[in-house]
Amino acid sequence: MESAARGLCQGKFEDIRIHDVSRVHLSYLIRDIWKYKAIIFASPTYDAHLFPPMAHLLHMLDLKGLKNRIAGIIGTYGWSGGGLKYIREFVEKNNWELLEPIVEANFTPNEEDLQKCYELGLNCSQNLLMR
């Protein structure tokens, strides 16, 4: 997330919030997602699905049916993968605009993965500033 945030700042977009879904109450997460136009989701794969607090957040967002958002996706996995596709399904189901690149890292992100996260942040800021 820090690399994506650096990309956003480099693109001159500095009104950024970073939340850890395992530590921040759902009400604060939803409040900020409601307020902001672009959201970058990052989650590890957990039992061939998403990290549970992230799965819960997406379920709650699904119920709210928020429209007109831009989304980036960063996913990590250890062996089978699988988490990322649930974020993608959520984004597509809700007709949110999907930003490139979609980043998928095996275990801890390496330099190349972090560069892609940076590009994702940069693309996100350029997209936002064109509106």
Ligand X SMILES: Cc1cc2nc3c(=O)[nH]c(=O)nc-3n(C[C@H](O)[C@H](O)[C@H](O)COP(=O)(O)O)c2cc1C
Instruction: List the x/- string, 19-58, binding to ligand X by CB under 6 A.
Output: -------------------------xxxxx----------
14 phi and psi, to 5 degrees? -115, 0
Number of residues that bind ligand X (CB under 6 A): 14
Rounded CA-CA distance 58/54 in Å is 6
Among residues 13, 77, 90, 96, the one that binds ligand X under rule CB under 6 A: 77
Residue 86 Cβ, how far from ligand X at the closest point, in Å? 12
Work out the end-to-end distance of the chain between its first and last CA atoms, rounded to an integer number of angstroms. 23
Q: Which is nearer to ligand X, 8 or 42 (CB)?
A: 42
* Cβ atoms within 10 Å of 29's Cβ, excluding its own: 21
* Cβ atoms within 10 Å of 73's Cβ, excluding its own: 25
Q: Which residues make up the interface to ligand X (CB under 6 A)? A: 44-48, 76-82, 107-108
